[in-house]
Amino acid sequence: MKKGRFLALVLTILMLANLLAACSGSASAPTAPASAPAAAPGEAPAAAPSGEAIKIGAVLPLSSSAGVSGARVRKGMEFAANKINAAGGVNGSPIEIIFEDTQSSDPALAMSAVEKLIHQDKVNIIVGCYGSSASLAALPLCEENGVVMLEPIATSPAITSGSEWAFRISSTNGIDAEMVGPYLPALGFEQVAYMPVDNDWGLSVTQNYIPVLEGVGAKTVTTEGIIIGEGNYLTQLTKIKNSGATSVIITQDVESCSTLIRQMVESGMGDFKILSTSGNNASMVRSLIGDAAQGVYFIEYYAEDGMVGGVPNEKNKAFTEEWNAANSDTALDYFVVQGVSAVEIIAQAIAEAGSADRTAIRDALRSLEYEGLRSTIKFDEFGQSHGEVILTQIKEDNSIEIIDYKK
């Protein structure tokens, strides 16, 4: 065969392979290492990373209702990885992220994704699995194979309750209940109805909040379980409206939570006190339902730049400006910040360890101190970090205020 014909055949085969890959329907999607930015005058350009890729497996809900916030975590991760790669990578190696979609944080999909990432993709670390039930289902696989699971979002205390391979950069419902719970009755949460999502996440809220609130005089009137991603809550809301409750504590993904709050207002329950737990951010709910969110309280983990009552944070302000300049279509919020933080923490751990070995990453995380946008993150003996927990409220002018709930 002539050289020209052989080259044409090779190109044709490659094109067919790419086409088949694109049509396969796989949820995997690795990031492409970013090219280094142009150097400033008088500065040498950053050397492109040339070492073996550091593979991060990210297990997130990227479709269904939970995909709204899961996609923001992904965007934050990609932003951080591209920035690190453009600066030369970590110890000369680029970061590559392989994403897997768990839809509504489905535990079975999370387990399949983690199996694939560990055995087929040979990742160095797992970020996930976003939902508490998904993370608890997949954690034993990480333990069996000696791979760290770095949890960015899930809040069930059980995740960081003894595993040497589990680390978490979000709060837990136990921590939140202890910090904020004793002050909620003074804000009107005295006759309380709970609406927890029907999984480990929702269960951990009721298990932790109810004893704390009852311990300071609040009464649990009723508990109405809901399904993740559910769109119609009128049956549960009618029961709560007729129960004698005057306040509702909601645990649900941010998009479905927004729908629930809007339906409360439409059902004549606008005078109820409402609290959204577990880090759902007020700014996203406000963007989804507008004025219907006025008066609602939120347990949050990140003080966004511009919140009323926030402490000035120059690092946060500078990063917000940098993010907004590059991402005009996505506001910087908690979910984005958690994605950024996860990648930066992994990069710092590998740099300090001098190795991307799975055990070396675990050992480095144990002693790591990361100066993040939320606060300084370091892990206790259980792999749990203790960062910022704030109570916010959307006011009548649609501003978001950080409430000094201890007054």
pLDDT one-digit tens code per residue, 289-326: 999 999 999 999 999 988 999 887 888 889 999 999 99
Q: Taking a C-beta distance cutoff of 8 angstroms, is the pair 366, 164 a contact?
A: no
Rounded to whole angstroms, how far apart are CA atoms 237 and 223? 11
Rounded to whole angstroms, how far apart are CA atoms 338 and 333? 9
Task: Give the number of other CB atoms < 10 A from CB of residue 51.
Answer: 12
370 Cβ contact list (under 8 Å, min separation 6):
341, 344, 345, 348, 376, 377, 378
Q: What pLDDT does residue 37 have? A: 40
Instruction: Identify the CA nearest to 139 among candidates 173, 98, 169, 168.
Output: 168
Mean pLDDT of the chain: 89
Instruction: Identify the CA nearest to 388 among candidates 171, 115, 204.
Output: 171
Do the domains 50-171+320-377 and 175-300 sit in the same CATH topology, yes or no? yes
Instruction: Identify the CA nearest to 279 among candidates 307, 298, 265.
Output: 298
Give pLDDT tens digits for 135-148: 999 999 999 999 99
Rounded to whole angstroms, how far apart are CA atoms 160 and 143? 13
Rounded to whole angstroms, how far apart are CA atoms 108 and 3? 50
Q: In terms of C-beta density within 10 A (0-12 exposed, 13-18 middle, 19 or more buried), how is residue 215 classed?
A: exposed
DSSP states along 55-79: EEEEEE--SSTTHHHHHHHHHHHHH
CA neighbours within 13 Å on the CB side: how many for 197? 26
Q: Domain boundaries in the chain? A: 50-171+320-377, 175-300
275 Cβ contact list (under 8 Å, min separation 6):
184, 189, 247, 248, 249, 250, 296, 297, 298, 299
- What's the rounded mean pLDDT across residues 335-362? 97
Q: What pLDDT does residue 45 have? A: 61
% of the chain residues with pLDDT over 90: 78
Give pLDDT tens digits for 102-123: 998 899 999 999 999 999 999 9
DSSP states along 162-193: S-TTEEESS--HHHHHHHHGGGSGGGT-SEEE
Q: What are phi and psi of 173, to 5 degrees?
A: -70, -25
Please check the confidence at residue 32 and state whether its pLDDT lies above 50.
no
Q: What is the CATH number of domain 175-300?
A: 3.40.50.2300
Q: What pLDDT does residue 28 have? A: 57
364, containing H or E segment: helix 358-367
Please check the confidence at residue 91 and state whether its pLDDT lies above 60.
yes
198 Cβ contact list (under 8 Å, min separation 6):
225, 226, 227, 228
Cα–Cα distances in angstroms (integers) from residue 117 to residues 120, 122, 145, 199, in the given order: 6, 6, 11, 25
354: left (phi over 0), alpha (psi -120 to 50) or beta: left
386 Cβ contact list (under 8 Å, min separation 6):
171, 175, 380
Please name the fold of domain 50-171+320-377.
Rossmann fold (3.40.50)
Rounded to whole angstroms, how far apart are CA atoms 132 and 89? 31
Instruction: Identify the CA nearest to 319 among candidates 121, 80, 43.
Output: 80
Pairing of strands 390-394, 400-402: antiparallel
Rounded to whole angstroms, how far apart are CA atoms 118 and 325? 36
CA neighbours within 13 Å on the CB side: how many for 363? 9
159 Cβ contact list (under 8 Å, min separation 6):
132, 135, 136, 139, 151, 166, 168, 172
pTM of the model: 0.87
Tell the residue number behind the tokens 């797992």, with chain if given.
126
124 Cβ contact list (under 8 Å, min separation 6):
54, 55, 56, 147, 350, 356, 357, 358, 361
Please check the confidence at residue 9 and state whether its pLDDT lies above 70.
no
Give pLDDT tens digits for 273-290: 999 999 999 999 999 999
What is the pLDDT confidence band of residue 29, given thresholds at 50, 70 and 90?
A: low
- What's the rounded mean pLDDT across residues 202-226? 97
Strand ranges, E, within 94-190: 95-101, 125-128, 149-151, 166-168
CA neighbours within 13 Å on the CB side: how many for 157? 13
Task: Give the number of other CB atoms < 10 A from CB of residue 326.
Answer: 11
Q: Taking a C-beta distance cutoff of 8 angstroms, is the pair 112, 43 a contact?
A: no
- Choice between 305 and 88, residue whose per-residue pLDDT is larger: 88
